[in-house]
Amino acid sequence: MVVEYSEWSERFGYYGSGGYDPGTYEVIRPTAMFLTQFVKPPDDYVSVVAFDMRPTPLTDFTNDPGRINQVINLLLRNAPAFRETNLFDALKFTLLGGRGDAVVLDDSKSATADYSGLVSVQGRRRAIILVASGIDTFSKINYGDARKVTQNAGIPIYIIGTGNLFFKKYEDRLDATDSLTGMPGRMTWLQAQNTLKTFAKETGGAYFPVTFEGELPKVLGSINALLRNQYSLAFNPGDVHDGKQHKLQVSVDVNGDGVYDDKEYVIQARQFYNAPKPDGAK
């Protein structure tokens, strides 16, 4: 589970609720609800990564209710330290791994540790639950790089979009582009929403833009159902090393009559396969 935990997300949550709730509740609430209601031992395991200017693992894979409650309390007790929200770097770290902050709840003597990433984890069903606004302020990789990472990983991303109430309330007061203070403009918000839709669609996941708290039970229930019901299809592209992107299309023929029934069904599947480059190519 990957959670945006930055000063910007805190501000969006606070002003979106009219100051009724602490700003961080907008990201903590869906995180806590999913962790406590839908992670079922002994077969379910979850790891939680919070990100602002860099991703920070809060816990390694666990299904211990006590450990999960520690994660929630950690988010509730603390406050975001940085304004930056580097979504693309966080997704790359979560999927591919790398060197990052040591797991917070492990109380490690080392400040950093090496991680292998979700792509190397063996399991019947792997997925990312992303709670984020979609805004990226300062990542080392760009949007195109992030798309390649998510496309190649073969792991669906289910997204709970945040900041929607803030944007709906203040859209007409925002500048078209980012202000000198760094406040995201209308174009940034629209691009953020498109980014989340793209990540979800291209990975075979789903995007749920949440405006009100009352929407969460249905949204989380839908994600849980999608995680627990699936058809597993394998595709062998052969020994192709052309470095090109190849489109994948999945269609449904319910009764075998040769006529696809795509109009009656919603198909969520990986859309692209990026072939490796030819041997010797840079």
Phi-psi region of 238 (alpha: psi -120 to 50; beta: other; left: phi over 0): left
Residues 212 and 199: their CA atoms lie apart, in Å, by 22
**What is residue 124's three-state secondary structure?**
coil
Residues 114 and 150: their CA atoms lie apart, in Å, by 20
Residues 91 and 158: their CA atoms lie apart, in Å, by 12
> What Rg value do the Cα atoms of the chain yield, rounded?
19
For residue 44, what are its two tokens?
Answer: 């379910």
pLDDT number for residue 16: 95
Residues 11 and 18: their CA atoms lie apart, in Å, by 11
Q: Which residue, chain included where needed, has tokens 């031992």? A: 41
The amino acid present at 204, given as its one-letter code, is G
* pLDDT, the chain, mean: 91
Cα-based angle 66, 125, 229 (whole degrees, multiple of 5): 105
User: Between β-strands 112-115 and 98-101, what pairing exists: parallel, antiparallel or unpaired?
Assistant: antiparallel
Q: Which residue, chain included where needed, has tokens 């692209």? A: 272
**What is residue 8's three-state secondary structure?**
helix
| Strands annotated E in 13-148 | 46-51, 55-62, 98-101, 112-115, 128-132
User: Would you write out the chain's pLDDT as a tens digit for each of its 282 residues?
Assistant: 999 999 999 999 999 999 999 999 999 999 999 999 999 989 999 999 999 999 999 999 999 999 999 999 999 999 999 999 999 999 999 999 999 999 999 878 888 899 989 999 987 789 999 999 999 999 999 999 999 999 999 899 999 999 999 999 999 999 999 998 889 999 999 999 999 999 999 999 999 999 999 999 999 999 999 998 866 677 777 777 777 777 788 888 787 887 887 777 777 777 777 777 776 555
Is 2-228 CATH 3.40.50.410?
Answer: yes
**What is residue 48's three-state secondary structure?**
strand
Helices and strands per DSSP (H, E), number in the chain = 8, 10
pLDDT number for residue 231: 66
pLDDT number for residue 268: 75
Query: What is the domain partition of the chain in residue ranges?
Result: 2-228, 232-282
User: Between β-strands 98-101 and 55-62, what pairing exists: parallel, antiparallel or unpaired?
Assistant: unpaired
Per-residue CA distances from 128 to 134, 154, 157 (Å): 15, 11, 5
The amino acid present at 103, given as its one-letter code, is V
